[in-house]
Structure 1
Amino acid sequence: MPENPILEAAKEVFPEELLRYVIKSFDVVGDIMVIKVPPQLMEGRFRLAEALLKKLPYVKVVVRQASPHEGDYRLRGLEWLAGERRTETVHKEYGCRYKVDLAKTFFTPRLSYERLRVAKLVREGEVVFNMFAGVGCFSVLIAKLAGAEVYSVDVNPEAVRLMYENVKLNKVEGLVHVVHGDSRSIGLSCLEGKVDRVLMPLPLKSYEFLDAAIASLRGRGVIHYYDVERGRRDEVVSKLWRRVEVKIEELGARCRLLGARIVREVGPRLLQAVLDVEVSR
Structure 2
Amino acid sequence: ESLRKASSKEKEEVKMADDSPPPDTYFQDHSVANHGRRRNKNFENSKNQCLGKRDKSSAGRIDPYAVEICGLINQKFEGYYTTSSCAGRCFLYQGRGVKSSHNLAMIASLDNAAQQQTHFVRFRVSHDLVRDATRYFDLTTLESDPSGGGDPIRTIGQFENKPGVDEKEDVEPGNEASANFQQNDSSAPSTNNDESLSAPNDQSVWLRFEPFILHVACRSLSAAAALMSAARPAFKNVGLTTWTATGDGAKFIVAIWGDEGIDMPLSTPEGVPLFASNQTEWLASLVNERHERNWEKIDRFVEAVRNMPVADADDCEMEQGDNGTDNGSGGVRIPRSFDVVGDVCLLHAIPDADNTEEGIQAIGEAIMKRNKAIKVVALRQSNLVGTERAPGEDGIRIIAGANRVPLMTSHVEYGIKVAVDLNHTFFSPRMGQERLRICQQVARGEHVLVLFCGVGMDAMQIAGRTEASSITAVEYNDVAVQCCIRSKRFLERNKTVKCAGAAERLEIVQGDVLEIMPTLPRQHYDRVLAPRPKEGALDGDLGNGDSGNEFLQAILPAMKPNGGECHWYDFVSTNEFPTCDRTRTFLERVCNEHNLEVEILHVANAGSVAMRQLRVCVDFRIRPKSE
TM-score by length of 1: 0.89
Q: Secondary structure at the match of 2:534?
A: helix
Task: Name the CA shift for 1:218/1:243 in 2 (closer, same or farther; >3 Å).
Answer: closer
> Residue 375 of structure 2 aligns with which residue?
60
The answer to whether the aligner puts 1:243 opposite 2:586 as a matched pair is: yes
Cα distance in structure 2, aligned partners of 1:242 and 1:218: 21
1:119 aligns with 2:439: yes
Higher mean displacement: 198-207 or 222-231: 198-207
Using the TM superposition, give the Cα deviation of residue 39 of structure 1 relative to its aligned residue in structure 2, in angstroms.
4.8
Partner deviation per Cα, 1:119-161 (whole Å, 9 max, x = no partner): 1111122111111111111111111122211110100011111
Q: Does 1:192 align with 2:509?
A: no
Secondary structure of 1:240's counterpart equals: helix
Q: Secondary structure at the match of 1:169?
A: helix
Residue number among 469, 473, 476 corresponding to 1:152 in the alignment: 473
Equivalent runs, 1:220-235 vs 2, <5 Å: 220=562, 221-232=564-575, 234-235=577-578
- The corresponding residue for 1:275 is 618
1:204 match: secondary structure: coil
Does 2:535 match 1:218? no
**Paired position in structure 2 for 1:142:** 462
Whole-angstrom CA distance in 2 between matches of 1:56 and 1:8? 15
Please state whether the residue corresponding to 2:479 is helix, strand or coil.
helix
Amino acid across the alignment from 2:556? I
Tell me which amino acid in the other structure corresponds to 1:275: V
Counterparts of 1:179 and 1:40, CA distance in 2: 47
User: One-letter code of the match for 1:217?
Assistant: M
- Find 1:3's aligned residue among 315, 320, 338: 320
State the distance in 2 between where 1:62 and 1:249 align. Answer: 50
Superposition map of 1:64-213 within 5 A: 64-76=379-391, 77-86=395-404, 87-148=407-468, 149-171=470-492, 172-204=502-534, 206-213=548-555
Structure (1 or 2) with the larger CA radius of gyration = 2
1:45 aligns with 2:375: no
Matched residues, percent identical? 29
Q: CA deviation at 1:12?
A: 4.7
CA distance in 2, matches of 1:185, 1:217: 17
Residue 257 of structure 1 is aligned with which of 591, 600, 617?
600
Deviation at 1:251, TM superposition (A): 4.5
Tell which deviates more after alignment, 187-196 or 63-72: 187-196
Tell me how far 1:265 sits from its aligned partner. Answer: 1.8
**CA distance in structure 1 between the partners assigned to 2:575 and 2:486 by the alignment:** 40
Do the aligned residues in 2 keep the contact of 1:90 with 1:97 (CA within 8 Å)?
Answer: yes
Amino acid at match of 1:57: K
- Provide the alpha-carbon RMSD of the alignment: 2.4
Give the aligned length. 275
Secondary structure of 1:188 counterpart: helix
Distance of 2:400 and 2:532 partners within structure 1: 31
Q: C-alpha distance in 2, partners of 1:61/1:145? A: 30
Displacement of 1:82 in angstroms is 0.8
Shift of 1:30: 0.5
Aligned-pair CA distance for 1:234: 4.1
Aligned CA distance change for structure 1 residues 189 and 235 (closer, same or farther; 3 Å) = same
CA contact (8 A) 2:587 2:598 kept: no
Which whole-Å CA distance do the structure 2 matches of 1:41 and 1:233 have between them?
A: 36
Report the TM-score when normalising by structure 2: 0.41
Q: Who is 2:609 aligned against? A: 266
Return 77-86 or 25-34, whichever deviates more: 77-86
Aligned to 1:34: 346
Structure-2 change in CA distance of 1:246 and 1:91 (3 Å): same
Cα distance in 2 for partners of 1:78, 1:260 equals 33
Residue 280 of structure 1 deviates from its aligned partner by 3.2
Indicate conservation of the 8 Å contact 1:237/1:262, yes or no.
no
Q: Quick check: 93-102 or 236-245, which moved more?
A: 236-245
Residues 1:239 and 1:40: Cα distance change in structure 2 (over 3 Å):
farther
> Any conservation in 1 of the 2:320–2:326 contact (CA below 8 Å)?
no
Question: What CA distance in whole angstroms lies between the structure 2 residues aligned with 1:253 and 1:74?
Answer: 33
Distance 1:8 1:39, change over 3 A: closer
The SS at the match of 2:325 is helix
Structure 2: state its 5+ residue gaps.
Answer: 1-36, 38-318, 493-501, 536-547
